[in-house]
Structure 1
Amino acid sequence: MEDTRPADSAAPKRARARNRRGEGSRLREDIVAAAVELLDEAGDERAITLRSVARRVGIAAPSIYPHFPDQPAIMLAVVRLEFAELETSLRASVEKAGDDPRQRLYAACHAYLDFARSHPERYRTMFGGLWMPVLGESSVTEGDLTTLGAETMQVIIDVLGDCVAAGQATSTDLYGDAVALWLGLHGLAHQRAVTRAFPWPEDIAERIITALAHLNEGPGPGVSPWRSSLRQ
């Protein structure tokens, strides 16, 4: 893919010092970091080309090939990195939520929505952005694509399973309901990103989470049982 953007939009760094023996992994990390920077700046993964990344890192484009055979391989690494950060964010929020399974589920779901809102360009790219290659036309395989986000999904499965075990949710199809819950969160995150003006109900996230997780009646996040009883 040719880089048709103005030359100054992918401003090069200083010429990069050559790695010492055994430091090839550092160049790989620099390449991925440069791609993330370009994505954040341009808001469009089409800005990430072999040429633009090489300029940002301060290397010649052919130096990328020992680490990434093509542009989709770089994008795959970027997306994997972001899914790892999303997983870390979800797990940290779950741990901070305490021991109650319901609150841990809410915490994971809100951390997911917060990540999407804080990193809109990265989030869009993670879920089928323009970089997604046609299978067979790049180094990216079907296995690469089908396993993306598996660890993040496992966090949602685990916290929902804990709710079921505690009698706080009635799911009988844990994986199916976790996928449905993710789709609900993803839909809300997407619509919030593309809809400039809409009167969202303040508790829209809680409604989605409660319904799709099949939660029993109980207090939402940060709501005391006493306050909940006043609404009955």
Structure 2
Amino acid sequence: MKDTASTTDTPAPGTRKQARTRNRRGEGGRLREEIVDAAAELLDETGDEHTVTLRSVARRVGIAAPSIYPHFPDQPAIMLAVVRREFAHLQSCLRTAVEQADDTPRSRLLAVCHAYLDFARGHPERYRTMFGGLWVPALGDSSVTEEDLASLGADSMLLLIEVLDDCVTAGLATSDNPVADATALWVGLHGLAHQRAVSAAFPWPQDIAERVITSLAHLTDS
């Protein structure tokens, strides 16, 4: 596929690496990870997925652009790999929060929600790419499929449903549809994460996260 954004590439000072040492046989996976690392770095630096082109990524890694093709057929495939890795990172953060929380359903639910908000605050550019519509691949015009996109974040949503359902089972939430209410809770968390990012000067109440979580999860006072 033609690298349509390549004409806008302007080498930034210090971004070009020396020619990369060729991998030994069996080390092709290392180059693949370096390509994904480079794309993520460019995204962090610019906040614009259009700067992540085959040429800019190749320049960052220190390889020729055609060397990318054995690993990724096009730019959307690189971006999909970046986004998949970030969703895996998010899932790891949420799982760790559950494991470190007090052994009560309410604590686990609150831990998952706060870990989600912390992830959004700590990785703003990647979060915007994952959830904010920054990256919208052209289906049918790239290697990325609708199924690829539909699966993104599924594990994290299942975890949110799980911890909310545990609260319902324990009599700590009055939700009669944990799947729908977990979806509503995620929408609320995403909205809060987005507004905190774009309205940093707003005098947010200190307990705004708890208010959002308690209301949308239908938590009881007990």
Bucket of the pairwise TM-score, normalised by the shorter protein: over 0.9
Aligned-partner residue type, residue 17 of structure 1: T
Corresponding residue for 2:68? 64
Aligned-partner residue type, residue 5 of structure 2: E
> Is the contact between residue 101 and residue 108 of structure 2 (CA under 8 Å) also seen in structure 1?
yes
* d(CA) in 1 for partners of 2:211, 2:88: 27
Q: 1:43 aligned to 2:47?
A: yes
Matches for 1:44-193 after TM superposition, within 5 Å = 44-193=48-197
> Is the contact between residue 181 and residue 209 of structure 1 (CA under 8 Å) also seen in structure 2?
yes
* d(CA) in 2 for partners of 1:65, 1:44: 22
Give 1:128 deviation, angstroms: 4.6
Per-residue CA deviations over 1:192-230 (Å, capped at 9, x if unaligned) read 111132121111110110011111113xxxxxxxxxxxx
Corresponding residue for 1:27? 31
**Deviates most, 69-78 or 6-15:** 6-15
* d(CA) in 1 for partners of 2:198, 2:131: 15
Question: Which of 5, 8, 12 is the matching residue for 1:2?
Answer: 5
Aligned-partner residue type, residue 110 of structure 1: H
Q: In structure 2, list runs of 5 or more residues that go unmatched.
A: none
Count of paired positions: 218
* d(CA) in 2 for partners of 1:9, 1:131: 26
* d(CA) in 2 for partners of 1:55, 1:170: 54
Runs of 4+ in 1 over 2 A off after TM superposition: 128-131
Question: Which of 200, 204, 208 is the matching residue for 1:200?
Answer: 204
RMSD between aligned alpha carbons?
1.3
Give 1:24 deviation, angstroms: 1.1
> Is the contact between residue 5 and residue 50 of structure 2 (CA under 8 Å) also seen in structure 1?
no
- % same residue: 70
Per-residue CA deviations over 1:65-124 (Å, capped at 9, x if unaligned) read 111111010000000000100110011011111211101110110000001001100000
Normalised to the residue count of structure 2, the TM-score between the two structures is: 0.94
* d(CA) in 2 for partners of 1:93, 1:180: 21
